């Protein structure tokens, strides 16, 4: 008689077997090329991650661009910039279009290259040759020229901060021919050629006067409205630093709280309240297109010199930034991955410029955000097994995110929380898993993945249940195959929650996230 344990009837009989290996060497499902491009564009970081180098990711991106059609590449670039708030990836996709379809590049250029940093990113990617050519070419060169010839003084000043390339390098490369006297003088000032100061636009003139006054020891509080980095090279007084904080953008203030503390800004009467009010300004948060993880980064980076009122304002800002996280109907379970691979930096290792925020911090943040708006949701953090942790939905998002992020360690077992739910015969309507999808503890040598097998057990009792797998660092594979009840989505901005909500409500079809990108409308130029 045959071994009935070995040859027992399994749910896997009707499930597609895994068709590839993930980076941990375990069975997985490969995404089709358009889905792979969508994920890497909206969550890829082009930096060293736990399982892949920056070069690996760039090679993957370049190969995918050759596989999918150019129109989808263009729409993905727009989506990644406008909805994902990404920088390097949209610029790289635009550089690919500069090689393969300059007509489509012209259609999306203004939406993707929407500020000076993006312009410099685009030029650097093109001249690196990574996408297939090292020169801009006629049409891309005209697009860069047009940006330089139509940008405001403020936009040009912001673009002038940074190197590799500097804006001066870009100007020397494309030789814009300005019609206005102020723009001609400004370009001359930028690249170090003779200029008439009287022809400079007002902010740049004010900056020149401020530099002269400071050199003479004159403490002027009329701090020019130039980028913060242009002022830091000067010897400034605390009152001048305070003016910089008053006039600065929301993002600049968020990024420089410790700098203000070192320069004694918070010791000046009223400045703590001024900065705290700015940080919790809902309109300013919306204009800044802040990603929730940036607020977490700011909160984690603050030291003991930062007043409690300012730290509390960052928590308030987080609540505002996540105010649009939806409430999901029914029994919701959110499963953040807290395994060892999640300790990698979420935007990839970049030397001294690396963020302090890890994948586990973002997973905790997303889980805490769901719990905040869905107080009855269960949170099942997992590594090799489910980790017991009690969270209070009434606590702030920042507090619960930090509790989850303190767990950490162990192997990755994406099926662990699903197995727990199946064993409990739990009632489930929506399961949200936040992971890097590199499951290996539960790896099968053949057949369907353990994640799919456990999900099938849950579906037997909950036929309407839906599974969402949010990928923090996409590598092109998943543990849960694409089908009508399973959504694989990448990203760590609040835009992800919009997609999840549409899926939970049955408003997304089989195309899922790729369908969202397909909805992007390109306008002929």
Within a domain: residue 504?
A: yes
CB atoms closer than 10 angstroms to residue 350: 14
Chain centroid to CA 115: how far?
A: 17
pLDDT band at 5; cut points 50, 70, 90: very low
* Omega of the bond leading into 165 within 30 degrees of 0 (cis): yes
- The pair of three-digit structure tokens given for residue 481, joined into one six-digit string: 């195959």
Which candidate, 514, 488, 510, places its Cα nearest to that of 73?
A: 514
Query: Is residue 19 in some structural domain?
Result: no
Residues 6+ apart with CB under 8 A from 158: 115, 116, 117, 227
pLDDT: which is higher, 233 or 366: 366
Q: Could you tell me if 308 and 437 lie in one domain?
A: no
**Alpha-carbon span 87 to 162, nearest angstrom:** 14
Domain termination site, one of 195, 226, 247: 195
Read off the pLDDT of each residue in 11-28 and give the average, rounded to a whole number: 78
**The last residue of a domain, from among 321, 346, 362:** 321
Residue 496's CATH number: 3.40.50.410
Q: Are residues 254 and 380 in the same domain?
A: no
Q: Identify the top-confidence range among 9-18, 130-139, 251-260.
A: 251-260
Q: Is-contact 346 45, C-beta < 8 A?
A: yes
Answer yes or no: do 434 and 485 share one domain: yes
pLDDT for residue 176: 97
Per-residue pLDDT band at 395 (split at 50, 70, 90): confident
Q: Is 433 helix (H, G, I), strand (E, B) or coil?
A: strand
Cα separation values, 454 from 11, 74, 418, 438, 460, Å:
9, 38, 6, 17, 10
In a domain, 2, yes or no: no
251 shares a domain with 167 = no
Q: How far apart are CA 363 and CA 209, in angstroms?
A: 48
For residues 337 and 454, state if they share a domain.
yes
**What's the pLDDT score for residue 47?**
52
Specify whether 365 is located in the same domain as 245: no
CA dihedral of 126, 132, 135, 137, whole degrees rounded to 10: -100
Check residue 150 and give its pLDDT.
Answer: 97
Phi, psi of 70 (to 5 degrees): -65, -35
Handedness of CA 385, 57, 254, 302 (dihedral sign): positive
279: pLDDT confidence band, cut at 50, 70 and 90? Answer: very high
pLDDT greater than 90 at residue 492: no
Share of the chain above pLDDT 90, in %: 50
The pLDDT assigned to 60 comes to: 80
Is the predicted pLDDT of residue 354 greater than 80, yes or no?
no
Average pLDDT of the residues of the chain: 87
Q: How many other CB atoms are found less than 10 A from the CB of residue 519?
A: 9
Burial of residue 329 (CB within 10 Å: 0-12, 13-18, 19+) is exposed
Residue 133, C-beta contacts closer than 8 angstroms, at least 6 positions apart: 98, 99, 126
Closest to 334 in 3D by CA, of 370, 362, 360, 361:
370
Candidates 343, 342, 473, 350; CA nearest to 57 is 473
Is pLDDT at 8 greater than 50 in this prediction? no
Using CA atoms, how far apart are residues 250 and 84, in angstroms rounded to an integer?
A: 19
Tokens linked to 76: 């993905």
| Amino acid 53: pLDDT | 63
- Answer yes or no: do 217 and 99 share one domain: no
Note the pTM of the prediction, 2 decimals: 0.80
Do 451 and 441 meet the contact criterion of CB atoms below 8 Å apart?
Answer: no
Residue 243, domain extent: 209-321
Window from 44-53, 249-258, 263-272, 439-448 with minimum mean pLDDT:
44-53
pLDDT in the model for residue 351 = 61
* pLDDT band with cut points at 50, 70 and 90 for residue 352: low
In a domain, 428, yes or no: yes
Mean pLDDT of 203-228: 89
Asked if the structure places residue 73 within a domain, the reply is yes
pLDDT cut 70: percent of the chain above it: 91
Please check whether residues 415 and 475 belong to one and the same domain.
yes
Does the pLDDT at position 344 exceed 90?
A: no
Residue 27 in domain? no
Q: Answer whether residue 18 is part of any domain.
A: no
Structurally, the chain folds into a number of domains equal to 3
Q: Taking a C-beta distance cutoff of 8 angstroms, is the pair 342, 311 a contact? A: no
Tell me the pLDDT tens digit for each residue of 84-111: 778 888 999 999 999 999 999 999 999 9
Return the half-sphere exposure (C-beta side, CA atoms, 13 A cut-off) of residue 97. Answer: 30
More confident: 13 or 448: 448
Contact 117, 159 (CB under 8 A): yes
Q: Measured between alpha carbons, how far is 473 from 346 in angstroms, rounded to an integer?
A: 7
Residues 353 and 487 in one domain: yes
- Cα separation, 516 vs 226, in Å, equals 38
Highest-scoring range by mean pLDDT, 341-355, 380-394, 473-487: 380-394
Choice between 415 and 219, residue whose per-residue pLDDT is larger: 415
Band of pLDDT at residue 4, cut at 50, 70 and 90: very low
Instruction: Examine the domain organization and report whether 352 and 260 are in the same domain.
Output: no
User: Cβ atoms within 10 A of the Cβ of 217, count?
Assistant: 7
**Ranges 138-152, 283-297, 303-317: which has the least confidence:** 283-297
CB contact at 8 A, 398 and 315: yes
Average pLDDT over residues 299-325: 89
DSSP secondary structure, 92-118, as one string: HHHHHHHHH-HHHHHHHHHHHS-SHHH
Q: In whole angstroms, what is the distance from residue 261 CA to residue 501 CA?
A: 41
In a domain, 270, yes or no: yes
* Domain C-terminal end among 288, 321, 354: 321
Structure tokens at 362: 């973002």
- Say yes or no to pLDDT of 11 above 70: no
Which pLDDT belongs to residue 401?
Answer: 87
- Whether residues 161 and 268 fall in one domain: no
| Residue bearing the bigger pLDDT, 20 or 243 | 243
Same domain membership, residue 400 and residue 459: yes
CA distance 63 to 166: 29
Evaluate whether 202 touches 186 at the Cβ level (below 8 Å): no
What pLDDT is attached to residue 9? 44
Predicted confidence (pLDDT) at residue 2 exceeds the cutoff of 80 = no
Whether the pLDDT of residue 13 is over 60: the answer is no
């Amino acid at each position: 008689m045959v071994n009935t344990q070995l040859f027992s009837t399994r749910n896997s009989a009707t499930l597609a077997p895994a068709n590839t290996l993930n980076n941990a060497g375990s069975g997985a499902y490969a995404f089709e090329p358009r889905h792979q491009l969508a994920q890497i564009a909206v969550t890829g970081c082009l930096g060293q991650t736990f399982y892949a180098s920056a070069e690996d990711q760039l090679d993957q991106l370049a190969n995918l661009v050759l596989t999918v059609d150019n129109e989808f590449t263009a729409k993905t670039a727009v989506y990644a910039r406008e909805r994902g708030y990404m920088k390097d990836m949209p610029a790289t996709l635009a550089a690919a279009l500069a090689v393969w379809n300059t007509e489509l590049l012209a259609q999306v250029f203004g939406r993707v290259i929407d500020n000076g940093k993006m312009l410099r990113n685009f030029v650097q990617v093109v001249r690196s040759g990574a996408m297939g050519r090292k020169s801009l070419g006629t049409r891309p060169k005209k697009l860069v020229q047009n940006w330089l010839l139509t940008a405001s003084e403020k936009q040009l000043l912001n673009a002038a901060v940074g190197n590799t390339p500097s804006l001066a390098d870009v100007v020397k490369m494309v030789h814009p021919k300005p019609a206005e006297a102020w723009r001609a003088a400004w370009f001359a000032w930028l690249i170090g050629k003779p200029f008439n100061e009287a022809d400079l636009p007002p902010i740049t003139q004010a900056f020149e006067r401020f530099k002269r006054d400071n050199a003479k020891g004159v403490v002027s509080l009329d701090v020019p409205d130039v980028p913060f980095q242009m002022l830091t090279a000067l010897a400034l007084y605390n009152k001048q630093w305070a003016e910089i904080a008053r006039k600065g953008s929301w993002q600049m203030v968020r990024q420089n709280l410790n700098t203000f503390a070192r320069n004694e800004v918070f010791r000046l009467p009223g400045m703590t309240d001024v900065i705290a009010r700015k940080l919790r300004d809902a309109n300013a948060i919306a204009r800044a297109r802040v990603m929730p993880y940036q607020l977490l980064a700011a909160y984690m980076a603050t030291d003991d010199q930062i007043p409690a009122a300012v730290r509390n304002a960052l928590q308030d800002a987080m609540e505002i930034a996540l105010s649009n996280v939806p409430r999901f109907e029914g029994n919701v379970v959110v499963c953040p991955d807290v395994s060892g691979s999640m300790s990698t930096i979420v935007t990839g290792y970049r030397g001294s410029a690396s963020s302090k925020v890890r994948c586990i911090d973002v997973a905790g943040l997303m889980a805490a955000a769901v719990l905040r708006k869905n107080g009855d949701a269960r949170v099942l953090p997992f590594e090799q097994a489910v980790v017991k942790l009690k969270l209070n939905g009434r606590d702030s998002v920042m507090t619960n995110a930090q509790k989850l992020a303190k767990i950490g360690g162990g192997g990755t077992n994406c099926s662990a929380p699903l197995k727990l739910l199946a064993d409990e015969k739990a009632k489930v309507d929506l399961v949200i898993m936040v992971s890097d999808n590199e499951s290996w503890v539960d790896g099968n040598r053949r057949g369907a993945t353990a994640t799919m097998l456990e999900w099938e057990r849950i579906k037997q009792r909950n036929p309407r249940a839906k599974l969402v797998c949010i990928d923090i660092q996409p590598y092109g594979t998943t543990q849960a195959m694409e089908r009508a009840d399973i959504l694989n989505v990448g990203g760590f901005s609040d835009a992800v929650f919009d997609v999840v909500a549409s899926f939970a409500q049955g408003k997304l079809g089989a195309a899922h996230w790729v369908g969202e990108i397909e909805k992007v409308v390109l306008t002929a130029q």
